[in-house]
Amino acid sequence: MRSVTPITQRELSAFFYSPIAYAVLAIFMLTLGVLFMLTTFRPGGDASLRNLVEIMPLVLAIFLPVLTMRLLAEEFRSGTIETLMTAPVNETDVILGKFLGAVLFYLVMLVGLFAFALVVRAFGRIDFGMLLATGIGLFLMGSLYLAVGLFFSACTSNQIIAVVCTIVPLLVFTYLAEWVATEATGAAGLLLHHLSIREHFRDFSRGLVDLNDSIFFITSTVLFLFLAVKVLESRRWR
């Protein structure tokens, strides 16, 4: 566990050393700004972040994999994984350290999102309770996205493969699952309904912190982190 902090620090600084962090932040803010203009900031618009938050599952499913694609794939490609894994660290430390680095960066992005709340505040009353619930939901959902991204980054030494392999299932489970669930019937439909990320996020965006949804996000995040650890460990029996 000792090694988690240095790895987190290194990942965070690596984000800011490379242009990726700035590019992601800038394009993320631009996207939010455009979406904000389109959905909220117009005559008769609803003075809340709700419309913006509604699209966040899609926006994050595209932006967060870009953050995670580098995390392990780049270590494999450049060979630094060899120096890393021959230092006295274990696989869990590496995965947790990198995950926390990505989560901290994601929190910076969320601060950017909530800056729009200040704009809204000039035109109406902000429901801070609802905003907090939304924040918790976004944090949990984003963590899951990052864990999935980290898992796929651990599977390949190619960042492009990592990012594509992450975005596709995220979109499937965020949107397609929900849509199919309404069409399908019986057990399959029910299962897809329970696996739909957007379904679980919806309550949060309405200001409701539901234990079911929280547990869904937390357990699936842990599952993907666990899988990432196992993939990294598999090096030891391959």
Partner 1 sequence: MINVKNLSKRYGQVVAVDRISFEVNEGEIVGFLGPNGAGKTSTIRILTCYHPATSGSAEIGGYDVFSNSQAVRRLIGYLPESTPLYPEMRVREYLNFRGKLHGLGSADRAGAIEKVTRRCWLSEFIDRPIGQLSKGMRQRVGLADALLHNPRVLVLDEPTIGLDPTQIRETRNLIRELGRDHTILFSSHILSEVEQVCSRIIIIAGGRLIAAGTPDELRRQISADSRLIAEVQGPFAAIRTAVANLGGVDGVEIAESDGWCRLAISSNGSADIRAPLAKLVYDNGWSIRELRRETPTLEDFFVKIIAQQSGAVRT
Q: Using CB under 8 A, which of 122, 183, 186, 236 touches partner 1?
A: 236
Q: Using CB under 8 A, which of 9, 51, 157, 158 touches partner 1?
A: 9
51 binds partner 1 (CB under 8 A): no
CB of 29 to partner 1, least distance (A): 23
Taking the C-alpha atoms of residue 104 and residue 118, their distance in angstroms, rounded to an integer, is: 22
Here the tokens at position 164 are: 């594509």
79 binds partner 1 (CB under 8 A): yes
Q: Using CB under 8 A, which of 14, 126, 131, 176 touches partner 1?
A: 14
Which DSSP helix (H) or strand (E) runs through 172?
A: none
6 binds partner 1 (CB under 8 A): yes
By C-beta, is 3 or 214 nearer to partner 1? 3
CB of 235 to partner 1, least distance (A): 6
Taking the C-alpha atoms of residue 13 and residue 15, their distance in angstroms, rounded to an integer, is: 5
238 binds partner 1 (CB under 8 A): yes
In the numeric block, the tokens 């700004």 are attached to 33
CB of 88 to partner 1, least distance (A): 4
The stretch among 6-14, 39-47, 129-137, 139-147 that binds partner 1 (CB under 8 A) is: 6-14
Binding mask 80-119 for partner 1 (x = CB under 8 A): xxxxxxxxxxx-----------------------------
78 binds partner 1 (CB under 8 A): yes
Closest Cα to residue 68, out of 152, 137, 5?
Answer: 152
Taking the C-alpha atoms of residue 226 and residue 186, their distance in angstroms, rounded to an integer, is: 31
By rule CB under 8 A, what count of residues binds partner 1? 28
Taking the C-alpha atoms of residue 194 and residue 210, their distance in angstroms, rounded to an integer, is: 14
> Which stretches within 40-123 are classed as H helix?
50-78, 80-85, 91-121
Here the tokens at position 224 are: 């993907």
CB of 237 to partner 1, least distance (A): 7
Taking the C-alpha atoms of residue 212 and residue 131, their distance in angstroms, rounded to an integer, is: 19
233 binds partner 1 (CB under 8 A): no
DSSP letter at 209? Answer: -
Taking the C-alpha atoms of residue 84 and residue 165, their distance in angstroms, rounded to an integer, is: 25
Judge contact between 6 and 97, C-beta under 8 A.
yes
By C-beta, is 18 or 212 nearer to partner 1? 18
Applying CB under 8 A, which residues contact partner 1?
2-3, 5-7, 9-10, 13-14, 17-18, 78-90, 235-238
